[in-house]
Structure 1
Amino acid sequence: IIAHVDHGETTLVDQLLRQSGTFRENEQVAERALDSNDLERERGITILAKNTAIEYKGTTINILDTPGHADFGGEVERIMKMVDGVLLVVDAYEGCMPQTRFVLKKALEQNLTPIVVVNKIDREFARPEEVVDEVLELFIELDANDDQLEFPVIYASAINGTASTDPTKQDENMEALFDAIIEHIPAPVDNSSEPLQFQVALLDYNDYVGRIGIGRIFRGEMKVGQQVALMKLDGSVKHFRVTKMFGFKGLKRLEIEQAKVGDLVAVSGMEDINVGETVCPV
């Protein structure tokens, strides 16, 4: 998700979690579900990419949040390698903001499929058609390819939990957005029979299991207990055993025994794992 800070991205994610049934009715969404870093709450920006997964009609949709600021450039590029498409969220009145240009440019360079979400469509003085024209101009300016220029547009009011493909009327729920994600954003290529390739994009730590590498499985499968090789950035190779593995559901991490190509997982067992390193078979 690429969005300027006040354009309603967090509210949008909250609604996707609720309407996909990933949140139960009695679960309270933290005021801003994805902005869980204290520094972010203070500054109102998204720094570390957060990930969450929702199930919709039998499809798992992994959602990653991107930092909206150029000073987190390295992280932005890594996140773009982990996803298959992007939602560009823009305010129906304010339109595109300069801060989103950098992140959007990285997404387009990676040949990612964009979906444009014009949010706050219920706002007074909303000008959705003009905003879409501005987005198109920005895409052309950023050298988007022909396929990317054919982006689908969803008009939404995240605060009301509604979306539509028509700027003049809203449906009763967010289905239009879910359907657009499933229709337009490509699913991972199924190469689960090939040798494992898992790339570390983020790090985490907890006192119980130590250092955790979070990333995407690009090829093959990974299981708890498996002996694997870590290709270090300095060219060296270290062997380790996968001690624990976590998948994502909603905003929770769940312990899992195995994962396959396309899954985003968190893995422990290797103390000095670093961002950008690759795990493969021994």
Structure 2
Amino acid sequence: MGILAHVDAGKTSLTERLLYAAGVIDHVGRVDDGSTTTDSMDLERRRGITIRSAVVSFELGDLTVNLIDTPGHSDFIAEVERALSVLDGAVLVISAVEGVQVQTRLLMRTLTRLRIPTLLFVNKIDRMGARYDELLADIGRLLTPAAVAMGSVTDLGTRGAQYEPFPLIHKALGELLAESNDRFLSGYLDDSLTAEDYRRELADQVGRSLVHPVYFGSAMTGEGVPELIDGIREWLPRATGTPEEPMRASVFKVERGTAGEKIASARVFAGTLQARQSIDGHHGGAQYEVKPTSLQLFEHGGTRSVDSVEAGRIVALRGLKRVQIGDQLGMPVGRDEQLFAPPTLETVIRAGDRVKLFQALQQLAEQDPLIRVRKGALGEISVNLYGEVQKEVIASLLEDEYGLTVGFSETTPIHVERPVGVGTAVREMGEPGNLCCAGVGFRISAAPIGTGIDYRLEVELGGLPRAFHTAIEETVRTAFQQGLYGWEVRDCRVDLTLTQYSSVGTAAGDFRRLVPLVLLDALREAGTTVCEPVNSFELELPPDAVSAVIAKLTEAGATLDSTQVAPDRTALTGRIPAGRVHAFEAQLPGITHGEGILLTTFHGYHPVGGRPDRHRSAMP
């Protein structure tokens, strides 16, 4: 089970309350005091936010819950994505005061799209400004019309606020369940349904992600938490894999131990995972063999060493040197698609010792692959980011774990290059200027958007040793990390049209040195266009702010797709350059009286108008 929320909604506090109710801890830690169980990093305790997903296992009666506490800040959405890949169900936490926020909507959309059974918990009913009816209306309008309140609140917004559960048979629940089941509808209309009928139908529809029960309470006081626990036990579906099936597991977290060894957290979906037994690992299309040296089972709020782990559990594995986040163990399982947008920002990072910095960043990239460490032709090191908070996190980790003090350049949008024509180039073995004991030729052309690098052979596969073919393809993909203007080349078809080698003198290194030179010649002939990341946006605002907002959108280079006007709200949709979102978002509260709600999602890359940005070093 995952606990998800917008930052500061109270999900880590709710995790503490669940652990306390399960008897795992004897007092409830506080985020403000840095005393929570799942926020273990020093920076998490200092900042009071969750940065890395944390796993804790406990028992609720006969139900074992493997709970994953995920980050709430949008800069760490990649951590949430990795957790979603292993969930049976989720609790989405909403603040009764702040209500439905941008991150809440993004998370609910993804949970709905993946059909992950989800309960909603409205936290902070004891805070001044807490809402009930208005918030339920916002949940139905902004999150899902399939939400239904399971109780009411008395003394809302006071320290004495109490949650009063409804009887299971009540009108709102009956009407919602009847919408998806004609047989239930018939029984509802003739008033012949029992509480057991309601219970069975609600469990079924929650399990199919058709209905989302809403609970109210306070993680600080514990009010409403027992009812939420009952909801978790009754409505969220239990794991279905069995120990008898072929072993299937998915790695969703990789970290380093005190001795620098890799520790991989994996969900076992089916079968039995055993220590010191060889198993197949799958990364993308590649397969490798691993043998875990030890297994640590998450259990009773901690971990213990075991020889085997059965389906449904989460385990920490050691001894998997090649393992990466997202790898599948045993039989491949799960989703390969990326759920959230890739990072669209980057920054150059500086330190006195570049070699040590690069090695340290590569290790951090094992824990968060989307930061993508790159080294430019002039030796500059850059990393990809979701936002400015990640800079602080990276700087803190580098100082605490590697003793490196670093500085950053200004954050800039990540651009890409796409071919605009067709280019060919050949350098034959022995021709003037070719000092490599090899010959190679390429044709470069545009490929459909989203293709990446489409590498193909126009030569006989058997005409060249396999190791040389591997060297050529790997070098093509590496070389295209920087194109004519220094940006990564995407959506490009590369045809290998010629290969030459000597059975006596040629080595793989000859091809690795020659390929970038020939690719550059072909790419220059084809030409490239530089494209910038663009987000689609949905914006709700009061009608009297429309003209001022449209003016600011125009300044930001945005384009409007639609405008929907209602008496009290106006909705705008369109596209905006990703690099302009932060500045526009900072202006929004002032021009909408604090009532503007902006939701942005990655849309794609669009050509940049005017002269391409050349501030990065070009392809060698």
Query: TM bucket by the smaller chain?
Result: 0.7 to 0.9
Structure 1 residue 260, shift from structure 2 partner: 1.1
Deviations 1:9-49 (A, max 9, x none): 222111111111112x3797752332222333344432211
Q: Which amino acid aligns with 1:76?
A: V
Counterpart for residue 98 of structure 1: 102
Q: Does the Cα contact within 8 Å between 1:2 and 1:104 map onto a contact in 2?
A: no
Q: Which amino acid aligns with 1:12?
A: L
1:263-274 map, 5 Å: 263-274=313-324
- Aligned partner of residue 158 in structure 1, secondary structure: coil
1:153-192 map, 5 Å: 153-163=214-224, 174-192=225-243
Partners of 1:34 and 1:63 lie apart in 2 by 10
The answer to which structure has the higher helix fraction is 2
Counterpart for residue 276 of structure 1: 326
Q: Does the Cα contact within 8 Å between 1:90 and 1:117 map onto a contact in 2?
A: yes
Partners of 2:41 and 2:285 lie apart in 1 by 30
Q: 1:247 to 1:15 in 2, by over 3 A?
A: same
- Aligned partner of residue 105 in structure 2, secondary structure: helix
Q: 1:118 to 1:248 in 2, by over 3 A?
A: same
Partners of 1:155 and 1:26 lie apart in 2 by 22
Q: Which amino acid aligns with 1:264?
A: I
TM-score (norm 2): 0.40
Counterpart for residue 226 of structure 1: 277
Partners of 1:82 and 1:93 lie apart in 2 by 31
Counterpart for residue 59 of structure 2: 55
Structure 1 residue 216, shift from structure 2 partner: 0.5
Q: Does the Cα contact within 8 Å between 2:139 and 2:145 map onto a contact in 1?
A: no
Counterpart for residue 22 of structure 1: 24
Partners of 1:102 and 1:141 lie apart in 2 by 16
Q: Does the Cα contact within 8 Å between 1:54 and 1:61 map onto a contact in 2?
A: yes
Structure 2: gaps spanning 5 or more residues:
147-178, 181-204, 332-620
Deviations 1:178-206 (A, max 9, x none): 11011111111133211111111100221
Q: Which amino acid aligns with 1:91?
A: S
Partners of 2:293 and 2:259 lie apart in 1 by 12
Partners of 1:61 and 1:154 lie apart in 2 by 19
Partners of 1:58 and 1:106 lie apart in 2 by 30
Q: Does the Cα contact within 8 Å between 1:213 and 1:268 map onto a contact in 2?
A: yes
Q: 1:115 to 1:26 in 2, by over 3 A?
A: closer
Q: 1:262 to 1:209 in 2, by over 3 A?
A: farther
Q: Does the Cα contact within 8 Å between 1:22 and 1:249 map onto a contact in 2?
A: no
- The answer to whether 1:194 aligns with 2:245 is yes
Q: Which amino acid aligns with 1:275?
A: I
- Aligned partner of residue 99 in structure 1, secondary structure: helix
Q: 1:10 to 1:77 in 2, by over 3 A?
A: closer
Deviations 1:218-243 (A, max 9, x none): 12111222221222335132x23221
Structure 1 residue 254, shift from structure 2 partner: 2.0
Structure 1 residue 90, shift from structure 2 partner: 1.1
Q: Does the Cα contact within 8 Å between 2:29 and 2:37 map onto a contact in 1?
A: no
Structure 1 residue 71, shift from structure 2 partner: 3.7
Q: Does the Cα contact within 8 Å between 1:69 and 1:102 map onto a contact in 2?
A: no
- Aligned partner of residue 138 in structure 2, secondary structure: helix
Structure 1 residue 141, shift from structure 2 partner: 8.4
Counterpart for residue 294 of structure 2: 244
Partners of 1:21 and 1:248 lie apart in 2 by 15
Counterpart for residue 254 of structure 1: 304
Q: Does the Cα contact within 8 Å between 1:118 and 1:155 map onto a contact in 2?
A: yes
Point out the more displaced range, 122-131 or 81-90. 122-131
Counterpart for residue 71 of structure 2: 67
Q: Which amino acid aligns with 1:151?
A: H
Partners of 2:90 and 2:215 lie apart in 1 by 13
1:126-141 map, 5 Å: 126-140=130-144
Which structure is higher in RCO with an 8 Å CA cutoff and minimum separation 6?
1
Partners of 1:179 and 1:118 lie apart in 2 by 16
Q: Does the Cα contact within 8 Å between 2:296 and 2:315 map onto a contact in 1?
A: yes
- Aligned partner of residue 230 in structure 1, secondary structure: strand
Q: 1:245 to 1:36 in 2, by over 3 A?
A: same
Larger Rg: 2
Partners of 1:259 and 1:227 lie apart in 2 by 15
Q: Which amino acid aligns with 1:13?
A: T
Q: Which amino acid aligns with 1:268?
A: R
Q: Does the Cα contact within 8 Å between 1:95 and 1:131 map onto a contact in 2?
A: yes
- Aligned partner of residue 199 in structure 1, secondary structure: strand
Structure 1: gaps spanning 5 or more residues:
164-173
- Aligned partner of residue 202 in structure 1, secondary structure: strand
Q: 2:122 aligns with which of 118, 123, 130?
A: 118
Structure 1 residue 112, shift from structure 2 partner: 0.7
Counterpart for residue 12 of structure 2: 10
Q: 1:207 to 1:140 in 2, by over 3 A?
A: closer
Partners of 1:227 and 1:276 lie apart in 2 by 19
- Aligned partner of residue 10 in structure 1, secondary structure: helix
Q: Does the Cα contact within 8 Å between 1:122 and 1:157 map onto a contact in 2?
A: yes
Deviations 1:135-177 (A, max 9, x none): 12222489xx9754521121111111121xxxxxxxxxx3211
Partners of 1:57 and 1:179 lie apart in 2 by 10
